[in-house]
């Protein structure tokens, strides 16, 4: 039989799997000799047994009894004894903190008898009865599942009948009457009396914590955060200490350094004569932690000493909850504390300088997401800001524009060159046009998985959602905010997607000093920039993955190179067909076969060649992977419906070109263009198209070589599903390259499930694979990003079907499995094959780790994400062999 | 070192891998003591070495020399000797016969000297010089790759200068001059003299046969027929015998029974004083084989004896090539002969009755394709037929209708209820509308992989293609045929897609007696029907796969049951939303949320219920798998472009319903509906939709039970990609079933790649899997059938990228691999899980074998294909353990 219960003296911080985060850290502090109230932890293993068997496991009760007895002996009190009762709190504590689970029941052990004993011992009847009513209220709500409002209403009624406004005005007798009322509520809603037996209270509370592991909100949270469903939660039983036993008592929180900036110093808040929940409820104002020195200098000094001990011990910023009971300091909790992105980088390097951690550790302490946050432009917080609301930081960035309240208006103004912010109560798929047209999106309803949030993140568009203080009136085209502020259509707004802040008027946007550093234009010397520099340099030295960029023009390529890209992993040649070249592409499509088509291709070739010359120059000496044209041709033509309406309305006056275009649009129309005539299929069906592109590449490379450059072009064939397709195209390309005397590797995208499944065959004809995970995700899941992201992703996230959109982060079980198959079987056929990824996942931290794990050679992402990928590649290399890769 | 050369006395018929089909059968006949001209076979292994190393393998020449010496000794002649030369033929012979490869060079051994010896020995100078010119012509064309027309032109010139019309009028001197001319052609086009050394002739011919294995046409044929590329071909060296040495000589072909009907008897043709190639060239008319009795009764009796021996030995119909040289009979080739579908069934059971084979063997001797041919309606060949052309039998069936020459006209007449045949020179994607509207398609150009052929087969539409005798004039809307027959638009045509015949006028269509047998309406006693009955009964007893049908209404279900279906594998509930119910579905889509939507669903429920009652009654006692609604809702609404044009043209007069509809169409419009909001996604996003269907199923089952029936409904969820989707829907369905007191299994389609890749998880929530291989093929290959089949499949078939469309037959490497993964991992999770297939592949013979091999429990196909699937399931069970499953 496993050991189910650990005294705080028995555990340590590395036993989080067993004792949960809270229990493990309480044990760690106990063993450090810090003043932790005595107690013990029931393991997560006991919870798992309970959930499987539907009852407490054999032997658990005996162990609990034994530990409780020891606790009673140590404290010199008995649980719920009438004269001088020991009270305990029951607190959940899973490995990862998790909303939706039951958290805490305080004051376990009180009943009609022991409440008298508590009053006597504390010398405070009001305190004792208030504690008792709190127990029944908390227990009723969380253990017995009674609607909490019933208890709140009873308090309100008590205040009303007494004619007072505040709880503070209620006296002992009032609370005593409330206890009776509360007991009635419990009886009415459960059919039983509130359990007066202290051990029964404790047992029921423990079972309630166990059961809350499977509460619906907890399940959905776990799905979203990808926390395994079978971990279970531990439960901590802790002797109660009271910060509300007079002005010599109090409670507070502290940080070992500033979580906002990383500065060392004394940060925290303190509240005299209060319990933790009162701080949260905001009944009175807290004072800065420094003020504790004047209130209780001994406890203050002791606390500072403890904070130093903890930071040296945990080698990181810690946050702390503590209580002072009549001059005696107690530590109730500690953990490695959350911090801002800037603080994370600063703290990591400060700890290196202090000799507490090494640079490897520093790299693993910061994340790509934090680096990305530092790279977004930000509002100048020094400016004269008029903040009018705060919502959720749904999609980062800083956006400024005129408020508009409908998609139509957003499009209209955007078409006139105006920057707009789309403001909606909530968005629907109908708002897509407006979201595309706007600089940013602001909603008053919905959380981080709402339609607006999901779609905006997908677009990389700034979004603040769920700003509930705002009343949005779409009909009247305005919203009202706190303090009666009214914003009409056309008024300028500034929204900060990284913080959720909404400002009235135009807030100046500041470039990120970290971006200036990467660009080489910023000043060095700033502590943050130095920290980023040291960490990035070290990550580069550790990583095994190369990082390339997706870029289609020399400017992007040059920027990517400044950002550290080691080549181009994806140049989309069709992007070179847009703008003023669209006419040439139309000519190509309208051309018949033979001579006419050849002429159209000939007109495009020199333009393509000059594109490639520029790109190869910008990446001279580094590989440049050029993908031949991928999208269906009709993407270069007008929309079928719009053109049909135009021609129908014009009737006999329709222009010949429009008529001819309409015929072509109809001929090329596809029901499912994503699954249509594109990629290698186009190359095989339209003779000369790929050949023109390959010739342009070959001639560009030859020109660069003649100019003394070192061009390293690679030719990539898209949408291959069978090796036979690749063979046909490759043979022709090799012929053209040989004619031009140019060498270039020829490889393929792996973006169709069948390509991954037959990668062993395809590798015979491919010098490299590049995973196109956008298409691969679409086909593996059978949904097109455009169509479904707006239509049902937010619902799927709400239902917990996705933890995260598979377009944001690689779906390891499905798409990832195909990638693993392709890597293994591609390498089996051609051991030296070069393997990379050029889907948008190439810049996603979790996906970069996955690419490292399956052994790719490089990732390629947008230029702006290159530093993120470099950092995460370094972190992935350092995480290798670590058991906990989350 | 392997043995590369086998004398005919050393081989046997089971060595086809090594000796090829021709060589193995020549050896077999030699060992049976039949009169085969002596010779030997160079193995396919030697060919493989040659192709790999680019030269004849070491030791081969020595072996050939030794066998040639033995041959010379046996024949008492030396190869190409001046006085009495031994001549040989060099013939290719791969394991599978294969167009595109070099076939034969006759008369090897002739040169300026030996031609004299041959003339002397034969007593016929003209014969000798003609033989020499044939050698140079055949050798020049096939070994030296000289355009054959040059030789033909030289003969024509010889005849013209002599003023005669026929080769028969040329004399020895003329042929001698032709030999000189031919030698000049060879010199001019190769830069060398025609090789006079007999051994050089032989060696070059052998190498040419080897090289022709990789001729482009052979490569494409192998890809199409899925013949492995590395088999190589054997080469046979055979002593020449001459059927053209006077009226006591001759050549012929024979069948051991009628390949058209299976009747026993003497079938074949004979031509006196001729060689095999003359029969093919049709210089003179052959006589029926029976006439040989009067010409050479001894050879005739000997031949009949040999035919009997061969049929008993091969236990099957054999075809035979033979030559009589001056009264001496020689067997040149035999093989198991091709036959019609009806003959195949008759012969198989006749051989059983003769005790030559057992019923297992009989089942494996017929194919599902043959059975399908017997089930197509056929033209009454007894009617007064006016055949005007013959093209390729591209897609089987019998179609009658008015000739039309454009898609527009086809659609126009079809909309008026007329049956039409679309006649085109060749079709393009633009003809799709017309092909859909027509009963059948007739083209004058293109082969079995032409656009018309591929698309028609995909549609199951009758098609004759490449009827090259027809001159189609689309402008004038008519075609002219042989003999000046002119068919104008509107004239009635009958086309037979099973034979390629084209008839003028309406030919009566006869029902198939085999279908009448399955229906139970035909008369028994017919030999063919009895044969089918015996074979089907035996196949049913052997097969492990159950066979179900895809059916959406009681009529189809009842027919399927008569055809032997053991349940319904797929009922598409959305088919019940068509016709006069479309209005109700429109209402549902236009409805808002809440009450309005509920009312729309309530209106549909009783209709759905009554559908299910009928279906469960028709399949009482057997499982009926009902798939909840699958397609996107906009499929039930008008087309976006058409409605947009309608509303735009109506302007202010547009009806409110049309405006509202247009809004809905726009809202629901998807770029890629195949990858859109459909299947389980609809069920999760539109509350109440699936619930309504499940309730209708539950109530239908309850009603059937109350009426004394045994309903066995199974509920199938489409388009699942993640187990979480299925769980949500399943929980709700189970609740509804429990409320109705009905039991029904709940399972899922596996039709999205991710579902196959995560089948181990999905099996936790699914009682059964049904592979939806249409969608699975679309997503695994990344192409939508509608879009690409017309656009590029014919090109892909031509290029050999597909051997067969993956929509016709399961692509084993890609789609099949996903299926295998899902079978293994689904069963690992849930050992008793029921596994089936309900894509159109369920009725395809090769796919049925694949389903058997991976261990599915059942296949489901259209009612008409049920007998085919039954037969192939039996054959698959019998083929188990056989090494050659092709």
Q: What is the pLDDT of residue A559?
A: 93
- Confidence band, pLDDT 50/70/90 cuts, at residue B884: very low
Q: What is the pLDDT of residue A881?
A: 59
Catalytic residue list of A: 451, 838
Pairing of strands A858-861, B250-257: unpaired
Residue B556 pLDDT > 60: yes
pLDDT tens-digit map of A839-862: 889 999 999 999 999 999 999 999
Inter-chain contact A791–B724, Cβ cutoff 8 Å? Answer: no
H-helix or E-strand containing A249? Answer: none
Best of B228, B433, B641 to mutate (most A CBs within 10 Å, chain A): B641
Q: What is the pLDDT of residue A832?
A: 95
Inter-chain contact B671–A667, Cβ cutoff 8 Å? Answer: no
CB atoms within 10 A of CB B576: 22
Best of A641, A642, A683, A815 to mutate (most B CBs within 10 Å, chain B): A641
Inter-chain contact A799–B728, Cβ cutoff 8 Å? Answer: yes
Rank B21-25, B264-268, B446-450 by mean pLDDT and report only the highest.
Answer: B21-25
Q: What is the pLDDT of residue A885?
A: 40
Contact A779/B at CB under 8 A: yes
- Confidence band, pLDDT 50/70/90 cuts, at residue B667: confident
Q: Which of B67, B451, B634, B841 is catalytic?
A: B451
Pairing of strands B486-488, B478-480: antiparallel
Q: What is the pLDDT of residue B430?
A: 75
CA distance A740 to A605: 15
CA angle A53, A54, A55 (to 5 degrees): 90
pLDDT tens-digit map of A80-104: 999 999 999 999 999 987 777 777 8
Rank A165-179, A232-246, A762-776 by mean pLDDT and report only the highest.
Answer: A762-776
CA distance A222 to A228: 7
* Number of separate helices (H) and strands (E) present in chain A: 35, 33
Inter-chain contact B676–A754, Cβ cutoff 8 Å? Answer: no
CA distance A333 to A27: 10
Q: Which residue is listed with tokens 């129309």?
A: A669
Which residues 683-742 of A have a C-beta within 8 angstroms of B? Answer: 684-685, 719, 721-722, 724-725, 728
Contact A758/B at CB under 8 A: yes
- Confidence band, pLDDT 50/70/90 cuts, at residue A663: confident
Q: What is the pLDDT of residue A85?
A: 96
- Confidence band, pLDDT 50/70/90 cuts, at residue A221: confident
CB atoms within 10 A of CB B293: 15
Residues B865/B564, Cβ–Cβ less than 8 Å? no
Between the alpha carbon of residue B50 and those of residues A844, B47, B101, B218, the distances in Å are 52, 5, 16, 17
Contact A775/B at CB under 8 A: yes
Residues B813/B802, Cβ–Cβ less than 8 Å? no
Pairing of strands B104-108, B88-94: antiparallel
Residue A147 pLDDT > 80: yes
Inter-chain contact B787–A670, Cβ cutoff 8 Å? Answer: yes
Inter-chain contact B429–A667, Cβ cutoff 8 Å? Answer: yes
- Structural domains in chain A? 5-239 (3.30.1490.20), 250-336 (3.30.470.20), 376-510 (3.50.30.10), 543-573+594-628+693-880 (3.20.20.60)
Inter-chain contact B779–A223, Cβ cutoff 8 Å? Answer: no
Inter-chain contact B645–A640, Cβ cutoff 8 Å? Answer: no
Chain B closest-CA separation from residue A692 CA (Å): 21
Q: Residue A379: name the closest of A398, A395, A396, A392 by CA.
A: A398
Section A757-767 average pLDDT: 97
In A, which residues are within 8 Å of B724 by CB distance? 223, 799-801
Q: Which residue of A has its CA nearest to B778?
A: A675
pLDDT tens-digit map of B234-253: 999 999 999 988 889 999 99
Residue A321 pLDDT > 60: yes
CA distance B798 to B448: 10
Chain B closest-CA separation from residue A400 CA (Å): 29
Inter-chain contact A792–B818, Cβ cutoff 8 Å? Answer: no
Q: Residue A752: name the closest of A682, A819, A657, A689 by CA.
A: A819
The β-bridge partners of A547 are A859
| Average pLDDT over all residues of chain A | 91
Section A724-748 average pLDDT: 95
Q: Which of B47, B318, B465, B838 is catalytic?
A: B838
Chain B closest-CA separation from residue A93 CA (Å): 27
Helix crossing, B527-542 with B368-375: angle to 10°? 140
pLDDT tens-digit map of A278-312: 665 555 678 899 999 999 999 999 999 999 999 99
Residue B423 pLDDT > 80: yes
Section B204-221 average pLDDT: 88
Of B779, B813, B815, which is closest to A782 when you measure between CB atoms? B779
Contact B789/A at CB under 8 A: no
Q: What is the pLDDT of residue B24?
A: 97
Paired tokens of A91 = 């607190």
Of B675, B719, B780, which is closest to A778 when you measure between CB atoms? B675
pLDDT tens-digit map of A392-445: 888 888 999 999 999 899 999 999 999 999 999 988 877 888 898 999 999 998
Q: Which residue of B has its CA nearest to A815?
A: B754
pLDDT tens-digit map of B685-737: 888 999 999 999 999 999 999 999 999 999 999 999 999 999 989 999 999 99
Between the alpha carbon of residue A481 and those of residues A401, A469, A471, A485, B570, the distances in Å are 18, 6, 6, 5, 56
Of B677, B754, B780, which is closest to A754 when you measure between CB atoms? B780
CB atoms within 10 A of CB B221: 18
Chain A closest-CA separation from residue B487 CA (Å): 29
CA distance B72 to B85: 10
Best of B432, B630, B633, B675 to mutate (most A CBs within 10 Å, chain A): B675
**Sequence-separated (6 or more) residues with CB below 8 Å from residue A630:** A572, A574, A678, A679, A718, A719
Q: What is the pLDDT of residue A884?
A: 43
CB atoms within 10 A of CB A464: 33
Half-sphere exposure (CA, 13 Å, Cβ side) for B122? Answer: 26
Of B672, B801, B811, which is closest to A672 when you measure between CB atoms? B672
Q: What is the pLDDT of residue A452?
A: 86
Best of A639, A787, A789 to mutate (most B CBs within 10 Å, chain B): A787
Contact B426/A at CB under 8 A: no
CA distance A361 to B123: 102
Chain B closest-CA separation from residue A490 CA (Å): 27
Q: What is the pLDDT of residue B872?
A: 98
User: Is this model's pTM higher than 0.80 or not?
Assistant: yes
- Percent of chain B at pLDDT > 70 equals 98
Inter-chain contact A721–B814, Cβ cutoff 8 Å? Answer: yes
Q: Which residue is listed with tokens 């004569």?
A: A273
Inter-chain contact B786–A667, Cβ cutoff 8 Å? Answer: no
Residues B253/B279, Cβ–Cβ less than 8 Å? yes
Q: Which residue is listed with tokens 């404290």?
A: A75
- Percent of chain A at pLDDT > 70 equals 98
Q: What is the pLDDT of residue B284?
A: 66
| Average pLDDT over all residues of chain B | 91
Chain B closest-CA separation from residue A725 CA (Å): 6
Rank A220-224, A585-589, B515-519 by mean pLDDT and report only the highest.
Answer: B515-519
Q: What is the pLDDT of residue A819?
A: 98
Chain A closest-CA separation from residue B72 CA (Å): 47
Q: List the beta strands (DSSP E) in B135-281.
A: 233-239, 250-257, 264-272
Residues B276/B251, Cβ–Cβ less than 8 Å? yes
CA distance B503 to B486: 12
Section B92-104 average pLDDT: 82
pLDDT tens-digit map of A47-82: 999 998 889 999 999 999 999 999 999 999 999 999
């Amino acid at each position: 039989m496993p050991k189910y219960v650990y005294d705080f003296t028995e555990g340590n911080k590395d036993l989080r799997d067993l004792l949960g985060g809270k229990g493990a850290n309480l044990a760690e502090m106990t063993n450090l000799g810090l003043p932790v109230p005595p107690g013990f932890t029931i393991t997560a293993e006991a919870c798992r047994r309970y959930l499987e068997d539907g009852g407490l496991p054999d032997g658990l009760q005996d162990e609990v009894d034994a530990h409780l007895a020891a606790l009673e002996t140590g404290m010199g009190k008995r649980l719920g004894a009438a004269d001088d009762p020991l009270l305990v709190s029951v607190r959940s504590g899973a490995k990862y903190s998790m909303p939706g689970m039951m958290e805490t029941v305080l004051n376990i052990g009180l009943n009609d008898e022991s409440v008298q004993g508590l009053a006597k011992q504390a010398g405070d009847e009001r305190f004792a009865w208030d504690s008792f009513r709190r127990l029944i209220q908390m227990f009723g709500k969380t253990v017995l599942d009674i609607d909490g409002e019933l208890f709140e209403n009873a308090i309100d009624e008590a205040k009303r009948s007494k004619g007072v406004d505040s709880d503070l005005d209620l006296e002992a007798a009032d609370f005593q009457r409330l206890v009776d009322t509360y007991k009635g509520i419990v009886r009415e809603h459960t059919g039983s009396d509130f359990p007066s037996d202290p051990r029964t209270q404790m047992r029921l509370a423990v079972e309630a914590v166990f059961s809350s592991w499977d509460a619906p909100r907890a399940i959905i949270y776990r799905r979203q955060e990808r926390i395994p469903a079978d971990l279970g939660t531990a439960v901590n039983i802790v002797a109660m200490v009271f910060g509300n036993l007079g002005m010599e008592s109090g409670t507070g929180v502290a940080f070992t350094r500033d979580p906002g900036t990383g500065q060392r110093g004394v940060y925290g808040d303190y509240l005299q004569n209060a319990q933790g929940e009162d701080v949260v409820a905001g009944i009175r104002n807290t004072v800065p932690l420094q003020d504790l020195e004047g209130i209780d200098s001994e406890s203050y000094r002791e606390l500072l000493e403890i904070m130093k001990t903890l930071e040296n011990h945990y080698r990181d910023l810690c946050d702390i909850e503590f209580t002072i009971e009549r001059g005696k300091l107690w530590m109730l909790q500690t953990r490695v504390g959350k911090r801002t992105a800037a603080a994370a980088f600063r703290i990591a390097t400060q700890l290196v300088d202090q000799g507490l951690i090494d640079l490897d550790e520093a790299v693993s302490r910061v994340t790509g997401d934090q680096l990305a946050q530092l790279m977004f432009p930000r509002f100048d917080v020094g400016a004269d800001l008029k903040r009018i609301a705060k919502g959720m930081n749904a999609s980062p960035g800083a956006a400024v524009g005129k408020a508009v309240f409908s998609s139509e208006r957003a499009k209209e103004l955007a078409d006139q060159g105006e920057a707009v912010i789309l403001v909606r109560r909530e968005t629907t798929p109908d708002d897509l046009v407006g979201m595309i047209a706007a600089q940013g999106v602001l909603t008053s309803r919905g959380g981080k998985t709402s339609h607006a949030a999901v779609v905006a993140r997908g677009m990389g568009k700034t979004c603040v959602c769920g700003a509930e203080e705002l009343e949005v009136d779409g009909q009247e085209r305005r919203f009202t905010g706190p303090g009666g502020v009214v914003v009409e259509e056309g008024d300028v707004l500034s929204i900060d997607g990284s913080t959720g802040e909404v400002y009235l008027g135009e807030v100046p946007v500041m470039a990120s000093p970290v971006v200036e550093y990467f660009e080489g234009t910023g000043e060095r010397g700033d502590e943050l920039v130095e920290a980023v520099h040291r960490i990035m340099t070290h990550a580069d030295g550790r990583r095994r993955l190369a990082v390339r960029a997706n870029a289609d023009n020399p400017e992007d390529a040059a920027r990517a190179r400044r950002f550290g890209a080691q080549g181009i992993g994806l140049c989309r040649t069709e992007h070179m067909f847009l703008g003023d070249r669209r006419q040439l592409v139309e000519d190509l499509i309208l051309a018949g076969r033979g001579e006419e088509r050849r002429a159209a291709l000939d007109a495009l070739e020199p333009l393509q060649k000059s594109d490639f010359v520029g790109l190869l120059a910008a990446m001279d000496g580094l590989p440049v992977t050029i993908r031949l044209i991928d999208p269906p041709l009709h993407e270069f033509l007008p929309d079928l419906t719009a053109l049909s309406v135009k021609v129908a309305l014009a009737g006999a006056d329709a222009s010949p070109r429009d008529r001819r275009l309409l015929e072509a649009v109809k001929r090329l129309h596809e029901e499912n263009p994503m699954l249509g005539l594109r990629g290698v299929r186009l190359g095989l069906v339209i003779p000369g198209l790929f050949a023109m592109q390959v010739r342009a590449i070959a001639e560009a490379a030859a020109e660069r070589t003649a100019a003394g450059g070192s061009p390293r072009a690679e030719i990539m064939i898209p949408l291959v599903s069978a090796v036979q397709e690749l063979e046909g195209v490759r043979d022709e390309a090799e012929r053209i390259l040989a004619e031009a005397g140019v060498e270039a590797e020829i490889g393929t995208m792996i973006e169709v499930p069948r390509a991954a499944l037959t990668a062993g065959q395809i590798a015979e004809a491919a010098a490299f694979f590049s995973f196109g995970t956008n298409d691969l995700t679409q086909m593996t899941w059978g949904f097109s990003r455009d169509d479904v992201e707006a239509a049902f992703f937010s619902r799927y996230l709400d239902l917990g079907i996705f933890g995260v959109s598979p377009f944001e982060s690689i779906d390891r079980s499905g798409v990832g499995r195909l990638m693993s198959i392709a890597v293994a079987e591609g390498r089996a056929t051609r051991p030296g094959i070069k393997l990379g990824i050029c889907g948008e996942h190439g810049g996603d931290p979790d996906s970069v780790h996955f690419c490292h794990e399956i052994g790719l050679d490089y990732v390629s992402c947008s230029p702006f994400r290159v530093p993120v990928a470099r950092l995460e590649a370094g972190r992935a290399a350092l995480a290798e062999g670590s058991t906990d890769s989350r």
